[in-house]
């Protein structure tokens, strides 16, 4: 990408209301459930982003009828299971890939997966091993794209899944399990990562009439069944909320997020607790939240981000402006995201003069009295771009290269960012 975006230093107080894009994670789950529903599903609050576009296109290729208008869509599952071989291009969407890999187990024909070169680097071996146990025939490049999955005529109702790399594997298996003739029992092995996302999957499945049982901490049981169609509203994206919460906290501003409240199950909502530790005043209702930043941010010290890894780059961006070193742990999954967010994040902060200590699954970021303007690289990673905008908003004179990659999950980010930077509407 060659798109450049100068980032001004925020110098004026701001008080703005922001309507977040709908949660990408929740939207992708409901799109897949709608393909397996008992009738049409009407979704509202769909985010405008590349990942969702990729899922829509994939479902169309799988025979789902889609009528889409703005932030709403109606999906009608095929009357009979789609039986032809098909090729699905998932672009850069790792979540869509993992969810649809599991979905391929429901089809006795062959589903071939491809995508952007960046997606070819994402690991999938543990999920593919679990699918082989079900009876799928797999072709892959050592667990990476290109991948072909041919589903079994008589799938086995039990499998084992390693859970150290990403929770997306388990979410994929859970979401497609009701479509298997005898359901699915999943034995989990290894450490759990991003457990909050499994809670989201379980909650959203329950909204559509499917219960997930967990008889013990290492077993997940999903009975066969059919998802309900009908009307579904998708709440605001808690990961997107972290950038606005960070701006309010660092600049002493006020931001109200109009479509996300404490009724959510999204793990990244806990980022607001970190903002409170920094001195922000956070006012919550079931449907919205207001963040008012302090005059001077307070130290966080140690922060474990294992249950909200997508929010870790946002905390990395805030850490140089806190009065004491910030030690951020629980970052193992950041090594295998769109880029290595530990190494790349450290590199970009150092460009501005930040002292960063890098460990296998952790970072220590030291306070910086005076930072220098820098040209930041995004590595085609949407979260890097949005997090770096937080850093740049304090430094001034910075440029972000490849800024348009925010379209992966938050196509309107720069428009919303400008409303904070220029609350009077000036440009």
Per DSSP, the residues of 1-51 read ---EEEEPPP-S--EEEE-PPBPHHHHHHHHHHHHTBSS-EEEES---SHH
Q: What is the dihedral of CA 351, 352, 356, 358, to 10 degrees?
A: -30
Q: Annotated catalytic, 51?
A: no
> Which one of 53, 307, 310, 377 is the catalytic residue?
310
Element housing 141 (H / E): strand 137-141
Q: How is residue 227 annotated by DSSP?
A: B
User: C-alpha angle with apex 241: 240 to 244, nearest 5 degrees?
Assistant: 105
Closest CA to 174 of 29, 364, 26: 29
Q: Could you tell me how far CA 369 lies from the centroid of its own chain? A: 32
How are the residues of the chain apportioned to helix, strand and coil, as percentages rounded to the nearest 5? 35, 25, 40
In angstroms, what CA-CA distances link 146 with 86, 140, 162, 173, 246? Answer: 13, 6, 21, 20, 38
Beta bridge partners of 147: 113
The residues annotated as belonging to the active site are 310
């Amino acid at each position: 990408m060659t798109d450049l975006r100068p980032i001004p230093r925020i110098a004026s107080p701001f008080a703005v209301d922001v309507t977040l894009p709908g949660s990408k994670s929740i939207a992708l789950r409901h799109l897949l459930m709608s393909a397996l529903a008992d009738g049409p599903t009407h979704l509202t609050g769909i985010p405008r982003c590349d990942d969702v576009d990729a899922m829509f296109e994939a479902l169309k290729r799988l025979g789902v009828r889609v009528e889409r208008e703005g932030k709403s869509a109606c999906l009608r599952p095929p009357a009979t299971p789609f039986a032809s071989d098909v090729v699905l291009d998932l672009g850069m969407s790792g979540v869509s890939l993992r969810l649809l890999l599991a979905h391929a187990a429901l089809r006795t024909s062959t589903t071939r997966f491809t995508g952007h070169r960046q997606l070819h680097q994402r690991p999938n071996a543990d999920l593919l091993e679990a699918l082989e146990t079900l009876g799928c025939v797999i072709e892959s490049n050592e667990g990476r794209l290109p991948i072909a999955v041919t589903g079994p005529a008589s799938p086995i109702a039990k499998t084992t899944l390693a859970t150290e790399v990403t929770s997306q594997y388990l979410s994929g298996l859970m979401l497609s399990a009701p479509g298997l003739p005898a359901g699915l029992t999943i034995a989990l092995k290894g450490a759990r990562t991003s457990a909050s996302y499994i809670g989201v999957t379980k909650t959203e499945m329950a909204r559509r009439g499917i219960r997930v049982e967990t008889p013990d901490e290492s077993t997940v049981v999903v009975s066969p069944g059919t998802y309900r169609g009908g009307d579904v509203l998708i709440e605001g994206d808690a990961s997107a909320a972290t950038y606005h919460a960070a701006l309010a906290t660092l600049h002493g501003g006020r931001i109200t997020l109009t479509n996300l409240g404490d009724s959510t199950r999204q793990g990244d909502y806990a980022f607001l607790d970190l903002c409170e530790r920094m001195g922000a005043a956070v006012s919550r209702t079931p449907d919205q939240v207001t963040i008012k930043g302090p005059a001077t941010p307070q130290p966080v010290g140690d922060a474990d981000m294992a249950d909200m890894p997508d929010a870790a780059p946002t905390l990395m961006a805030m850490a140089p402006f806190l009065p004491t070193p910030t030690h951020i742990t629980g970052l193992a999954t950041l090594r295998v995201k769109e880029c290595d967010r530990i190494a790349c994040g450290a590199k970009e902060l150092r460009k501005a003069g930040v002292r960063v200590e890098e460990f296998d699954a952790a970072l220590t970021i030291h306070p910086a009295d005076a930072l220098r303007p820098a040209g930041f690289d995004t590595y085609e990673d949407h979260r890097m771009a949005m997090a770096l905008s937080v850093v740049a908003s304090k430094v001034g004179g910075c440029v972000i290269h490849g800024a348009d990659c925010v379209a992966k999950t938050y196509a309107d980010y720069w428009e919303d960012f400008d409303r904070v930077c220029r609350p009077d509407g000036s440009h």
